[in-house]
Amino acid sequence: MKYMSKVNGGRGGIIINTASITSETPFPTIPIYAATKAAVSHFSRSFGDPLYSGKSGVKVIAINPGLTDTQILKNIADYSLYDPDVKVAFDVMRTKVPTQKVNNMGVGLLQVLEKAESGSVWTIENDQPAKRCLNPA
Ligand SMILES: NC(=O)C1=CN([C@@H]2O[C@H](COP(=O)(O)OP(=O)(O)OC[C@H]3O[C@@H](n4cnc5c(N)ncnc54)[C@H](O)[C@@H]3O)[C@@H](O)[C@H]2O)C=CC1
Ligand SMILES: CCCCC/C=C\C=C\C(=O)C/C=C\C/C=C\CCCC(=O)O
135 inside domain: no
pTM of the model: 0.93
Mean pLDDT of 4-15: 97
Who has greater pLDDT, 17 or 95?
17
Domain count along the chain: 1
Question: Quick check: helix, strand or coil at residue 62?
Answer: strand
Q: Is 52 a catalytic residue?
A: no
Q: Cα 128 to the chain's mean position, in Å?
A: 15
* Residue 18 CA, ligand 2 centroid: distance in Å: 13
Residue 98 Cβ inside 6 Å of ligand 1? The answer reads no
Q: What is the CATH number of the domain that holds 90?
A: 3.40.50.720
Ligand 2 and 63: CB distance under 6 A: no
Q: How many residues does the chain have?
A: 137
Which pLDDT belongs to residue 77? Answer: 62
Q: Name the residue at shortest CA distance from atom 18 of ligand 1.
A: 71
* Contact between residue 83 and residue 29 where contact means Cβ atoms under 8 Å apart: no
Per residue in 87-132, pLDDT (tens digit) is 778 788 888 888 999 999 999 999 999 999 999 999 999 999 999 9
User: Is any ligand 1 atom within 6 A of the Cβ of residue 23?
Assistant: no
Containing structural domain, residue 108? 6-124
Question: How far, CA to CA in Å, does 77 sit from each of 28, 42, 80, 87, 91?
Answer: 17, 29, 8, 9, 10
Which phi and psi angles does 61 have, rounded to 5°?
-135, 145
| Residue 58 placed within a domain | yes
**pLDDT number for residue 78:** 55
In a domain, 131, yes or no: no
pLDDT of residue 80: 57
Would you say residue 132 lies in a domain?
no
